[in-house]
Amino acid sequence: MQNAIPMVEMIRGDRLESLHWGHAVICDGKGNILRAWGDPGTVIFPRSSCKMIQALPLVESGTARDLSPAHLALACASHQGARVHTEFAARWLQDLGLAEADLRCGAHEPYDRAARDGVIRSAEGPCQLHNNCSGKHTGFLMQTQAMKAGPEYTEIDHPLQQAILQATNDVTGEVSPGYGIDGCSAPNHACTLHGLGRAMGAFAAASEAGDARAKAMVRLRDAMFAHPDLVAGEGRACTELMQAVSEPVALKTGAEAVYTAILPKRGIGIAVKIADGNARASEAVITGLLTHLGVLEAAHPAAQRRLGPTAPNCRGKVTGHVQLTAGLL
């Protein structure tokens, strides 16, 4: 990952302990770069930061016409596997006449502590509903039904995945150079950081007066504003920062330290990638950018947890702090 710049420092005592390098870009609604750090042309996997793009075929096709904002928020989610998430996904599947076994995301332990403890006590093990991507996959299944396509909807040649690829190319303004398989088994299409920022800018500038895609973008971003608890969950940066900002902002993290933001009142989109994949650093950068733009108070507890004193040690002592590099903003 060439031309990354120093972005985030971990300070312990009075010494630099760790340094995270990365890239970031802010784009307007036409895809123009308003500001960039590092190399906006660097090619990345957006991972889960692009779930709103992956949900576009579901919404712009009209399949989701009767879905609530909560459904759409869950379709864009990387959730905690808490009861509120798993029960919602289970009801949605039931409404489709489907079941947990129809998902193709695989199972992992829920990230939510209470849910994880419940799974351990039950001795049954986690199911696919606990997967942080089960909402996205339920949306995939709904669109697969509408397309009358086969059940293996995560295969790259499946009509759903081809529709997602086309939507990705359209909104990034690029032809994807290839794909990788994400943790949930769905294809994840590579793009440049600029392309990802361009897509977020398009979501920000979209209007109800636009075409089917613009209307879909509005519905998806507004659903995320309305249900930040479904997009991630208790204690997660996406949820806490969306609850803390002074104007609507849709935030989405992705694995390996990718972060995106949609700011419709400003008509801008943001994309961040930390080269070493450290989520602490991507959360710090997105927090710093939101603060710099004036939509988040630096003193807000949600901001301080990402860009300020580190969590105390086992005796309650603060051991250091996270900060942006001098002059970054």
Contact 12, 320 (CB under 8 A): yes
Low-confidence ranges of the chain (pLDDT < 50): none
Q: Residue 158 in contact with residue 150, Cβ under 8 Å?
A: yes
Given the structure tokens 């986690």, which residue do they identify?
A: 126
Q: Give residue 82's pLDDT.
A: 98
Question: What are the pLDDT digits (tens) for 81-125?
Answer: 999 999 999 999 999 999 999 999 999 999 999 999 999 999 889
296 and 248 in contact (C-beta within 8 Å)? no
Whether the Cβ atoms of residue 318 and residue 310 lie closer than 8 Å to each other: yes
Contact between residue 298 and residue 307 where contact means Cβ atoms under 8 Å apart: yes
pLDDT at 160: 98
Q: What is the pLDDT of residue 325?
A: 98
pLDDT of residue 72: 98
Q: What is the pLDDT of residues 161-196, one digit of tens each?
A: 999 999 999 999 999 999 999 999 999 999 999 999
Confidence at residue 312, expressed as pLDDT on a 0 to 100 scale: 85
pLDDT recorded at residue 123: 82
Sequence-distant (≥ 6) Cβ neighbours of residue 256 within 8 angstroms:
45, 47, 277
Query: H or E element: which one contains 43?
Result: strand 43-44
Phi, psi of 143 (to 5 degrees): -70, -35
- Give the pLDDT confidence score for residue 20 in this predicted structure: 98
Q: How much helix, strand and coil, in percent to the nearest 5, is found in the chain?
A: 40, 20, 40
pLDDT at 3: 94
> Residue 293: helix, strand or coil by DSSP?
coil
Residue 24 phi/psi, 5-degree rounding, is -155, 155
Phi, psi of 167 (to 5 degrees): -65, -40
Q: What is the CATH number assigned to the segment(s) 25-278?
A: 3.40.710
- CA 155/CA 161 separation, integer angstroms: 7
In the DSSP assignment, the letter for residue 54 is H
Domain range list for the chain: 25-278
Answering whether pTM is above 0.85, one says yes
For residue 55, the model assigns a pLDDT of 98
